[in-house]
Structure 1
Amino acid sequence: MRHDSATLLILLAVVAVLFWFVPDVVLIVFAGCLLAVALRAAGEPVARHLGIAPHWGVMIVALISLVVIGLGLWLGFNSLAAQAREFTQAVPRVLQQLTGLVDGLPGSEWLKQQVSPEKMEPAAQTAASVAVRGVSGTLGALGNFLLIVLLGLYIASDPTLYRRGALALLSPGLRPRAEATLNAMAHSLRGWLLGQMFGMVFTGVVIFLGLWAMGIPLAGLLAILTALFNFMPYIGPVLGCLPAILIAASQDPSMIPWVIALFFASQNIEGNFLTPMVQKQASDVPPALLLGAQALFGTGLGFLGILLAAPITAAAMAAIKVSYVEGWVEGPADQEEKHIIRP
């Protein structure tokens, strides 16, 4: 028992030190594990259907995904680039029109001064310099993305190898419960990913059809942005709604309530009905807990922390349930109940 406790304390101390000194590395490794769970979940059915080894199914899924993404970028690059340029050019005009809407309200004069051409030009120059400085950051992000992809492929190809390595770090008494914890975490992440992917596709399609029916420009770009932002529950849909509101304001301010109603309806249908149905047995993360986790990770770990806050919370809840609640809190009571002599 002492050996088990010492092993557990050492591992917790190592994890805490890594989170304190190199939190980005921990997040990148977790993102690779998350990608591995997704590739494995998609690759295993393919492997069973074709009668091949699971790692070949993973490779087939990864190759098909790369081909689809490459074709999508190649076919839609010009259209999306043109829409993105149009959106960038529309932002100053939108801000000017918004100042007209608030004309006469408290603070309207200050707002007019801030969006005046004299103010906007220095801001544009500053934004350009920030963009230049951000090139190195972009290259670093691309490097991290490539690392995440490679980690996901390696782990998904042979997860048993890495599972055995992780369990070997624990004392023999802890390995059964640790294996059950890993299984529960993988199951929770699979359910969360399935629900999020379904929700992203549903939200993107609904937003595109709604904006297109209302005649809002850049409906395709706005729908793709909304679908990508939807990967972050609760915060993502709000961020995705803002560009659509700005574009609607530039065309016809009376369309703003309809755009907000469209986003509100799609988010409620997806979040309250469709996603829980798809996730089925996967435990849903309580909204208050998720928002708290997003605020905590966002403050300490930046955008990547916000992006991964939901899956980390889902995996942590599964681990706490299996290893702490069932393994320690309820464990002693269950053991004592077995020794009770019933009449």
Structure 2
Amino acid sequence: MRHEQATLLIALGAVALVAWLAPDVLLIVFAGCLLAVALRAAGVPLARRLHLAEHWGVMIVALLALVAIGLVLWFGFATLAGQAREFTQAAPRVLRDLAELLRDLPGAEWLKRNLSPEGMQPSAQTAANVALAGVGGTLGALGNVLLVLLLGLYIGSDPTLYRRGALALLSPGLRPRGEATLNAMAHGLRGWLLGQMFGMTFTGVFTFLGLWALGVPLAALLAILSAIFGFMPYIGPVLGAVPAILIAASQDPSLVPWVVALYFASQNIEGNVLTPMVQKQASDVPPAVLLGAQALFGTGLGFLGILLAAPIAAAALAAIRVSYVEGWVEDPADTTRKGLIRP
């Protein structure tokens, strides 16, 4: 018993040490695991249908996804680039209009002064610093994206290899419970990811059709932003609605209530009806736990922490349920008999 506890404490201590010294590394590795789960969710059924090895199905799905993304970028780049330029040109006027609406509040004079065309002109040194920081940040982000892609491809192609390596760190008596925990985490991530992908697609299409019907400019760009922000439950839809509200206010203030109603309807249909139907076999993360996870990871780890807070919370709750509640608090024999774990 002491030997089992020692191996568990050593493993948890190693994870805690890496989280303390290099938390971004753990987030990137987790993002790679999440991508691997997504690739296997589509690749394994495809491989079985084509009578191929599982890793070939994962490779085919990854290749098809890259081709689809490339085609979207190829055909949509010019339109999105033009809309992005229009958005950039409209942003100062939108902010000035917002400052006018808030002119009676404290700090309105500062906003009006700094959001004027003259106040928004940066100096040469400031522009150079911003450009260098932007280049450095872009290169770093591209490097992280490439690393996540490689991790997802390697782990998705042969997860058994990495599963055996993780279980080898535990004593033999803990390995069945460790395998059950990994299975529960993978199952929870698959259900959560499926629900999120479905919800993001619905949000993008629904938002685009609504904004297009209302005549709001940059409908495609705003819909894509809404779909991307939809990856972050609760907080994401609010952030995605802000640009659309600002653009609508700059064009016609009477459109603002309709845009708010559109996003409110989209969020309620997606969050309360469609996504729960897709995730009915997965454990839902309680809203308070999700908001707390987003606040915790956002404070310590920035945007990447907020982006991955929901799947981390889903995986953590699955691990706690199987390894702690069913494995320690309750009687393991009873939980095994009831089918709560599958060793």
Scaled by the length of structure 2, the TM-score of the pair is: 0.94
User: Shift of the alpha carbon at 1:45?
Assistant: 1.1
Query: Per the alignment, do residues 94 and 127 of structure 1 end up closer, same or farther by CA in structure 2, a change over 3 Å counting?
Result: farther
Query: Per the alignment, do residues 163 and 131 of structure 1 end up closer, same or farther by CA in structure 2, a change over 3 Å counting?
Result: same
Name the aligned partner's letter for residue 71 of structure 1. L
Identity of aligned residues (%): 78
Alignment RMSD, CA only? 1.8
Q: Separation in 2 of the partners of 1:291 and 1:160?
A: 33
User: Shift of the alpha carbon at 1:123?
Assistant: 8.1
User: Shift of the alpha carbon at 1:153?
Assistant: 0.5
Name the aligned partner's letter for residue 66 of structure 1. L
Q: Quote the residue 2:101 is aligned against.
A: 101
User: Shift of the alpha carbon at 1:117?
Assistant: 2.7
Q: Separation in 1 of the partners of 2:117 and 2:41?
A: 53
Count of paired positions: 336
Q: Deviations over 1:169-192 (max 9, x none)?
A: 110000000000000000000000
Q: Separation in 2 of the partners of 1:125 and 1:231?
A: 36
| SS across alignment from 1:300 | helix
Q: Quote the residue 2:341 is aligned against.
A: none
Q: Quote the residue 1:304 is aligned against.
A: 304
Q: Separation in 1 of the partners of 2:184 and 2:284?
A: 13
Contact 2:92/2:116, CA 8 A, preserved across alignment: no
Contact 2:29/2:148, CA 8 A, preserved across alignment: yes
Query: Per the alignment, do residues 173 and 201 of structure 1 end up closer, same or farther by CA in structure 2, a change over 3 Å counting?
Result: same
Greater mean alpha carbon deviation, residues 105-114 or residues 69-78: 105-114
Q: Separation in 1 of the partners of 2:242 and 2:311?
A: 24
Q: Deviations over 1:132-171 (max 9, x none)?
A: 3221121011111101100100111111111111111110
User: Shift of the alpha carbon at 1:124?
Assistant: 9.8
Query: Per the alignment, do residues 123 and 241 of structure 1 end up closer, same or farther by CA in structure 2, a change over 3 Å counting?
Result: farther
5+ residue gaps, structure 1? 338-343
User: Shift of the alpha carbon at 1:109?
Assistant: 3.2
Q: Deviations over 1:262-308 (max 9, x none)?
A: 11110011111110100111011111111110111011111111111
Q: Quote the residue 2:122 is aligned against.
A: 122
User: Shift of the alpha carbon at 1:104?
Assistant: 4.6
Name the aligned partner's letter for residue 205 of structure 1. V
Q: Quote the residue 1:271 is aligned against.
A: 271
Q: Quote the residue 2:219 is aligned against.
A: 219
Q: Separation in 2 of the partners of 1:123 and 1:279?
A: 51
Q: Separation in 1 of the partners of 2:232 and 2:238?
A: 10
Q: Separation in 2 of the partners of 1:192 and 1:127?
A: 42
Q: Separation in 2 of the partners of 1:141 and 1:184?
A: 31
Q: Quote the residue 2:340 is aligned against.
A: none
User: Shift of the alpha carbon at 1:334?
Assistant: 4.2
Q: Quote the residue 1:206 is aligned against.
A: 206
Q: Separation in 2 of the partners of 1:226 and 1:202?
A: 10
| SS across alignment from 1:143 | helix
Q: Quote the residue 2:16 is aligned against.
A: 16
| SS across alignment from 2:122 | helix
Q: Separation in 2 of the partners of 1:42 and 1:290?
A: 27
Greater mean alpha carbon deviation, residues 147-156 or residues 133-142: 133-142
Q: Quote the residue 1:160 is aligned against.
A: 160
5+ residue gaps, structure 2? 338-343
Query: Per the alignment, do residues 227 and 124 of structure 1 end up closer, same or farther by CA in structure 2, a change over 3 Å counting?
Result: farther
Q: Separation in 1 of the partners of 2:252 and 2:67?
A: 39
Q: Separation in 2 of the partners of 1:298 and 1:260?
A: 26
